[in-house]
Structures are given as C-alpha cells and as structure tokens.
Structure 1
Amino acid sequence: METFLIRALQLILSLSLLVIIHEGGHFFFARLFKIRVEKFYIFFDPWFSLFKYKPKNSDTEYGVGWLPLGGYCKISGMIDESMDTEQMKQPAQPWEFRSKPAWQRLLVMVGGVLMNFLLALFIYSMILFTWGDRYTALSDMTMGMKFNEHAQEIGFRDGDILKSADGKELTRFNMDMIRSIVEAREVTVLRQGEEKKILLPELSLLDVAKEDPMFVDVFYPNVVDSVLPDGGFAKVGIQKGDSLVAFNGKEMTSWNEFLDNMAELKAKAELDKKTSAAFTLVYSRAGVRDTVDVQTDDKFKVAVIGGLVDYKQRTLSYGFFESFPAGVALGVNTLKGYVNDMKYVFTKEGAKSVGGFATIGSIFPKVWDWQRFWEMTAFLSIILAFMNILPIPALDGGHVLFLLYEIIARRKPSDKFLEYAQMVGMFLLFGLLIWANFNDVLRFLF
C-alpha cells in the first residue's frame, strides 16, 4: 500500500506540473496577443470543481477539477473541448481567438507543446548539473555480456564485449544500446581477444524488450561472494569463492543462469502450491567439484549473495552553463528514440502494450528518489509534447493542421466542420484512454 501511495503521489505531482506548464504555454501566447482566457484549470471539471477562484478585475477563472485526465485553458472564440458552440454563434469580438491573424492563433496552439519541450530540456539540464551523467562504459565491462537463447541462436556468445552496431561505436549499457543492436544489420563484438561480426535478422524492439531472460544483460560470474548464516547454502557447507557449475543437472557458467533457474524453480513450486523447494547443486572449490541438495526457505530464498562485479562508474560533471547544451542533446536524443519506437504501437503486440495511468505510475520508483522523479517527469513532458502535436482533431496538432490549411488555402474551415472534427477527435481520444486503462486492468487480473 505504501508503494502504491508513493507512486500515486509522484504521478499526480508530475502530471500536475506538466499540465500547468502545457496550459500555461497556451495562456502566455493568448494573453500576449490580448486574447481573453475564460478558464485555466488543472484537471477537468464536468458538473463541479474542487476549487475555483476568479481575481478581481480579471477575465480568467482559475480552478482545479475533479477528473484527473489533464487540464484545459478555455480561450474565447474557439471550438475546443468545452464545446461552447453558442459563443461561436455570436458576432466575433476583438478579444476572441477567431478575430486574430492566423499566425497568432498558430502560436497560441503550439504554445503548450513548445513549453513542454522546453521544460523537458530544462529538467534534463538541471539533472546533469545536479547529479552529473553517471554510466558504466561497455569498454570497462571486461567480462562481457550475458545473452539469452534467442541472441545465441543469432550468433552472440556469453562473454562477448559489444563494440559497434553498423559501424557506430557502442559506448554505454542502456536502452540506446539495445535499440542500436535491434536496428542494426551487423554487430561487431570482441570475443576472446578477436573481433567478430554478427549478422542480425530483422528484429522488433518491442519483442526483444519483452524477452525473459533479457536479450542482453551484464554478465555476472557464477562465484559466491557471501553466505548468510542458517540459510540453505550455509547448511550444506557452501562458502565464499565457490563456483556454481550445475543446477538440477543443467550446466551453468554465470550467476545470471543461477537466478533464472531459481525463478523457474519458484514458479513451478508455486504452481504446485508448495511453499518451498529443493534442488541439486554442483559447485566447485579449488577445482574440486561436489554435489549437494539445497532446501529453500518459505520465501524460496537460500541466503546467498554472488555474481558481484566491480565495474567502475564514470561520471561526467557539468557546470551550470555547460549543462544546457548537454541537456538539449539528451532531450533531443530522448525525443528521437521515442518517435522511433512509436512505430511499434501500430502493431498487434504494440496495441496490447499500450498502458494507462497504472502503467505510467509504475515507471516511477517504489521509494521517493528525486533524481528518478525528475527523469520521469522530463520523459513524460517529451511524450506529452509529441503526442499533442500529432495532427489529430481535439489535440493541439489538429488545430495546427487546420490553421496551416487556412494559411495555405487562405480560407478558414467552417465552424460546423471544426465542431464535428472536435467531436470525432474527442471520441478517438476517449476510446484510446479507455483501451489503455482496460489493458492495465487485464494486466492486474491476469
């Protein structure tokens, strides 16, 4: 319950900030061009609001709605989510959106997207300024990588050190590295001191990301680091420095495999409604092998720590002014990666992977971590900016599309057309929202 509350609080705080900044972008340009803003709301307020306040001598009512699906800025003289068509039947007024030149209306509509993107760049810059850029270089991972069965069928081998993908150097173990491998036709690795080239078939990042064990992971040696008293390993005499070489008759060369075998053992035992499990383990000490039968506790643990590697963490530190170009580069790279991955949404598996608020909330850490919080907020700001600029009616991008048509064709679409387009867009968006959250429910139940 505590984990749920921490994640929920982070999600609400993050989305509230993003909504304020997004709608603030619309508000800023509207007021810059002397367009009246009737309402500025965080969250939606059908039938009633949680809070509202209208300053004296102000045209704008500020408030907080009860439906946490975003927010809105009600601008006079335009067809938006408020569907205030009665206002559009009245003669146009100088302070209304529809009375302004197309270029001003265009800036009002892109204002939200612009502010979200700038916010992401600013957050990324401040993250780099505050915490620096910490990473483990692939060149420092001298034990190489651990590859699953699928990757080994392609040609990878445990211990391979990744060098390049389609001639582009691979430098860090992160999502960009995996994306580069998936999209490459040829990957170069260092294997036992020699460079080897591996030809790759066409892969899907979505499929690779779902594989368990992971397609590629850090290689952890199959060596015991410490044994806790009274645990399953201690009871059979296994000691620090012992190597684990076989699990229920299956050979092992890494700690990764031991953890995978333990997970399979637990899953099978739980399926059989057992509260613990036993397995046969072969270990090696000073070159001499021995076989023991190990019993787990009632949480399927054996009280052992192993597979430790001491890869040094590199940190790039940035001064205040240095952080801005680095933050811009990080933000642009994040946007490119997200846009590139959008193609998977339009596949059958991609549609199933779309998630709602539960999925978004799950990306936040289980404990409060400010660095992780700001990283996720910046990422969500990138997503919000990109999704809103898509040329879909009811989104900012839909309004931009019709304004560009007006600028090129030199005539406005009719109000009736805009009204119908808004209704269609809202229908599509609510359908997507229902589908995304329905997927969350299915994941929870099954």
Structure 2
Amino acid sequence: MEIAIKLSQFLLSLSILIILHELGHFIPAKLFKTRVEKFYLFFDIKYSLLKKKIGETEYGIGWLPLGGYVKISGMIDESMDKEQMALPPKPWEFRSKPAWQRLIIMLGGVTVNFILAFIIYIGMVYFYGDIYVKNDSVKDGVWVTNPVVEKAGIKTGDKIVSIDGEKVERFVPAVSLDILMSKKVVVERNGEEKTIDLPVGFIGKIIDQDKKSVITLRLPFVVAGFSAGSPNDKQLKPKDILVSIDGKPTKYIDEVTPILEPNKGKSLVAVVLREQKLTNVSLQVNKSGKLGVQLGELETDNLEKLGYYKFNNVEYGFFESIPIGMQKGFDQLAKYGKQLKAIFTPSTGAYKGVGGFAAIYNVFPDSWSWEAFWSITALLSIMLGVMNLLPIPALDGGHVMFLLYEIISGKKPSDKFLENAQMVGFVLLISLLLFANGNDIYKAIFHK
C-alpha cells in the first residue's frame, strides 16, 4: 500500500509538470500558427498506450514515464526528422517563423514551470500558513545526529546563530539544508559564540554517510514499540516518555545513550511520564547498551504542553499570501541555483547526491499528504525549469542560446550545425541520465 501511495504521488506530480511544461510550448506555437504534430505525456517509443488525432495534432500517452514532448513541424529536435528538414520550408513550420516568435515558443515551457511553482507557494502560504519555532527559543540548542557534522565542529547543544553571515531567526527544517550548503556557521556554545568553517567536501562526506539529517530539534525519548527480544517490553508501554535514568535527567533522546553505555547489562531505576503521571520503573540495559525500544514522536501541541518548544502558526489572507509566496519561490530558486553550482564544483562532492527517477520517487512520503505533495511538486517545477534553461543543445536552453545568437548577430546557424549540436546535446543528456540513475542504483546496493 505504501508503495502504491508513493508511486501515485510520483506519477501525478510528474504528469502535472510534464503536461504544463509542454503546454508552455504548445500554446505560443498555436498562437503563432505553427503546426504541432504531436503532444505526448511520456514517451511513445514504438507504441502508445493511448492516442487520438484532433485536427493536425496527435495527442497521446506513451508507455515510458521519463518525460513528454511536443513535436513541432520544421524544428530540429530529438526526433531528428531529416526528411522534413530537407524539404523547402512551409509557412506553418517553426523554421519559417521570426526568431522572436521561435524564442517565445522555446521559453514557454520553463516560463510555465516557474509560474506554476510560484502559484503553488502562494497557495500553500494561503492554505497552510507558516509553522516555525523562533530560533532564540531553542534554549538547549540543536541535536546533531550525523557524525560528519559533529566532526566538522557543530555539537549537540549548540545554538545556531548565523549561517554564512545571515542571522537565523526561525528554526525550520530548511535550516539543515542551509547548513549543508554553507561555508561558515556561527554557533553559541556555553554562552560564547564560536565560528565554524565547514571543510571542503563537507557535502560529499554527508552524502557518503547516507544520513539525510544534518541537525534537528532535540526531542524527548518517546516509546513507540519494542524490538524483538526487548528486555523492557513489560516494564515500558507505548507513549511512555523517559524523564530520568539512574537519577540523571533525560529530557532529550541524546541524553540517554551516555547513561546507558557505561551500564551495559545492568538494571537501572528510571522515571517515565505515563498518562500525565510520573511512574518509577526498573529498566534492563542490554549488552549493546540499549533498552530495546522503538522511538516515536510527539505532535507539536504535545511538545508545547510539555514545555519543549513554542510552535508559531501564522495564517495569512489571500492578498497577504501573494508576496510571501513569491518570496518563498525566489528563495527556493536561489537555493536550487546554489545547489546546482555545488554539483558542478567537484571539490564539494555534491555530485554524489545527484539522483534520477528513483531519487525523485523516494522524496515522496509513504502516506498521502497534499501539503508534502504540493511542496515537492513546486520544488520539482523549479528544478525542471532551471535544468531546461541550461545551455545544452537538445534542452530548451540550447535552442534559446542559438536563437539569441541569431537575434544578436543576424545570422541563423545552418540546419547541419543544429543537427550536429542536437546529437552532441542528446549524448550529454543520456550521459547525465545514466550517471543520475546509476547513482540511484549504487545507493540502493551499497547504502542499505
């Protein structure tokens, strides 16, 4: 069932992005009276799942869900239709249109991608508002769960002050990504500020660890269930919150292990919060220094009631949502640009995190959440827009590059040159696709 939910979200998101991107090409092509021969969701190599011709255009759904396309008459694209290009240009063909019209047609797809992302962010601000914790209210600092981060110098209990010179006002999940992409972090430790210069290759080392978390809020030790052969399945109950062990406070999960480690195989007295009452229990520490329990999480309202954090939930009216949603879109666009720069800088090691369709599939949660779905779709829309603008022949950005050259110089590249450029671009894209999906396969085999 979980696989079906993830797959449904993945295919729905992909379908929305592909159809709207291709509509961005289709609509201006039609407005400029350019013939569109095909409009396809997914690729129809050899055969189609569905197809229907309406007017001059064949609409269909292919069987290979790796993208989609519109085939525009008289345009050198991945179809490499040399027979059509060898004939004299027809008035309805792409190559017969003025350069400015061809430029608008080529920019239509990425324009729709960016517009869609901003509309989604505006809608999310309006429907969901903002939920965050004020950074200065994180009194006991953050929880560092990744050894690479700890080795870099950020410790559990540190308070994050600024990231690359920008003061952190709100603690939200994005703070973790901001640190990952940063060069310098200022923390407060024992009342003193300390500047931490993150090492070269920090991103790559995080990816090698295959742990998504960089830092997070410190959370209570909540019992969700028990491991097989647990020595404490009778003493503890689900939803118990560990308050202390052996007389030592355990407000947070990270305070439990240092107490258990030196007491392997021993029995310790603990206090748990059970149904709003403090209860004494005797716990057995196993030979691995564990209690044999599965950890759970508390809802935000319960964390507030217990005095851990104050979650601020800000709601916005429709007109208030527009500038805030736009700003979120611009922020996400800037962050993705920074990530892309890191990927193309080998020393960062960020290229190790490049993923293909399996990586995108795994981003979606295994339970249906419209908030998560639209958030991921907005991000994917920005990614699709930016990637398509790269000046690589066979991508929209490659066509735009040659059109701008034509507009500025007044000289149109020859069809032979464009055909060769298309082939080079196609080889580059296949190489990138193989690398990204090869990364997915490598992680599936070696990072289990």
Relative to structure 1, the CA distance from residue 237 to residue 107 in structure 2 (aligned partners, 3 Å threshold; closer, same or farther) is: closer
Aligned match for 1:109, one of 98, 101, 106 = 106
Deviation string, structure 1 residues 5-30 (Cα, Å, up to 9, x no partner): 11111111111110110000001111
Deviation string, structure 1 residues 79-130 (Cα, Å, up to 9, x no partner): 0111111111111111111111111111100100000110011111111111
> Hey, what does 1:37 align to over in structure 2?
36
> Hey, what does 2:156 align to over in structure 1?
158
The yes-or-no answer on 1:86 pairing with 2:77 is: no
> Hey, what does 1:413 align to over in structure 2?
413
Deviation string, structure 1 residues 146-165 (Cα, Å, up to 9, x no partner): 23555555554432322223
Structure 1 residue 418: Cα displacement: 0.7
Task: Report the identity percentage.
Answer: 44
Q: Which moved more, 1:428-437 or 1:40-49?
A: 428-437
> Hey, what does 1:272 align to over in structure 2?
none
Structure 1 residue 144: Cα displacement: 1.5
> Hey, what does 1:25 align to over in structure 2?
24
The letter for the 1-side match of 2:397 is G
SS at match of 2:285: strand
**What aligned pairs does 1:176-325 form with structure 2 within 5 A after superposition?**
176-181=174-179, 183-189=182-188, 191-192=189-190, 194-203=191-200, 204-208=202-206, 211=209, 212=211, 214-220=213-219, 232-233=231-232, 235=234, 242-244=243-245, 254-256=252-254, 258=256, 279-280=265-266, 293-294=284-285, 301-302=292-293, 309-310=303-304, 311-325=309-323
> Hey, what does 1:273 align to over in structure 2?
none
Contact 1:77–1:96 (CA<8 Å) still a contact in 2? Answer: yes
Q: Which moved more, 1:160-169 or 1:14-23?
A: 160-169
Give RMSD over aligned pairs: 3.6
Structure 1 residue 409: Cα displacement: 1.7
> Hey, what does 1:397 align to over in structure 2?
397
Relative to structure 1, the CA distance from residue 175 to residue 420 in structure 2 (aligned partners, 3 Å threshold; closer, same or farther) is: farther
Deviation string, structure 1 residues 261-296 (Cα, Å, up to 9, x no partner): 99x9xxxxxxxxxxxxx854656669xx99953359
CA distance in 2, matches of 1:259, 1:62: 60
SS at match of 1:82: coil
SS at match of 1:54: strand
> Hey, what does 2:275 align to over in structure 1?
none
CA distance in 2, matches of 1:102, 1:219: 57
CA distance in 2, matches of 1:234, 1:67: 49
CA distance in 1, matches of 2:30, 2:236: 75
Deviation string, structure 1 residues 153-184 (Cα, Å, up to 9, x no partner): 55544323222235421023345423544524
Contact 2:133–2:172 (CA<8 Å) still a contact in 1? Answer: no
Relative to structure 1, the CA distance from residue 195 to residue 70 in structure 2 (aligned partners, 3 Å threshold; closer, same or farther) is: same
Relative to structure 1, the CA distance from residue 261 to residue 374 in structure 2 (aligned partners, 3 Å threshold; closer, same or farther) is: farther
CA distance in 2, matches of 1:19, 1:128: 24
The letter for the 1-side match of 2:64 is L
The letter for the 2-side match of 1:6 is I
Relative to structure 1, the CA distance from residue 420 to residue 14 in structure 2 (aligned partners, 3 Å threshold; closer, same or farther) is: same
SS at match of 1:67: strand
> Hey, what does 1:332 align to over in structure 2?
330
CA distance in 1, matches of 2:153, 2:175: 18
> Hey, what does 1:129 align to over in structure 2?
126
CA distance in 2, matches of 1:246, 1:391: 64
CA distance in 1, matches of 2:224, 2:335: 40
Aligned match for 1:146, one of 131, 135, 143 = 143
SS at match of 2:18: helix
Contact 1:139–1:171 (CA<8 Å) still a contact in 2? Answer: yes
TM-score scaled by length of structure 1: 0.82
Structure 1 residue 319: Cα displacement: 1.4
The letter for the 2-side match of 1:11 is F
The letter for the 2-side match of 1:171 is E
Q: How many residues align?
A: 418
SS at match of 2:293: coil
CA distance in 1, matches of 2:333, 2:231: 48
> Hey, what does 1:271 align to over in structure 2?
none
Relative to structure 1, the CA distance from residue 245 to residue 25 in structure 2 (aligned partners, 3 Å threshold; closer, same or farther) is: farther
Structure 1 residue 394: Cα displacement: 0.5
The yes-or-no answer on 1:118 pairing with 2:83 is: no
Contact 1:255–1:306 (CA<8 Å) still a contact in 2? Answer: no
CA distance in 1, matches of 2:416, 2:259: 63
CA distance in 1, matches of 2:333, 2:122: 15
Structure 2: state its 5+ residue gaps: 273-279
Q: Which moved more, 1:376-385 or 1:417-426?
A: 417-426
Q: Which moved more, 1:348-357 or 1:129-138?
A: 348-357
Structure 1 residue 217: Cα displacement: 2.5
CA distance in 2, matches of 1:303, 1:352: 31
Contact 1:242–1:283 (CA<8 Å) still a contact in 2? Answer: no
The yes-or-no answer on 1:365 pairing with 2:365 is: yes
SS at match of 1:135: strand
SS at match of 2:316: coil
CA distance in 1, matches of 2:14, 2:259: 40
CA distance in 1, matches of 2:297, 2:163: 31
TM-score scaled by length of structure 2: 0.82
SS at match of 2:92: coil
CA distance in 1, matches of 2:64, 2:29: 25
Relative to structure 1, the CA distance from residue 24 to residue 128 in structure 2 (aligned partners, 3 Å threshold; closer, same or farther) is: same
Relative to structure 1, the CA distance from residue 399 to residue 150 in structure 2 (aligned partners, 3 Å threshold; closer, same or farther) is: closer
CA distance in 2, matches of 1:92, 1:305: 66
The letter for the 2-side match of 1:14 is S
CA distance in 1, matches of 2:230, 2:14: 45
Structure 1 residue 445: Cα displacement: 2.8
Relative to structure 1, the CA distance from residue 305 to residue 318 in structure 2 (aligned partners, 3 Å threshold; closer, same or farther) is: closer
CA distance in 1, matches of 2:70, 2:297: 55
Deviation string, structure 1 residues 364-410 (Cα, Å, up to 9, x no partner): 01011111111111111011000001000100000001111111221
CA distance in 2, matches of 1:303, 1:396: 49
The letter for the 2-side match of 1:422 is Q
Structure 1 residue 304: Cα displacement: 7.0
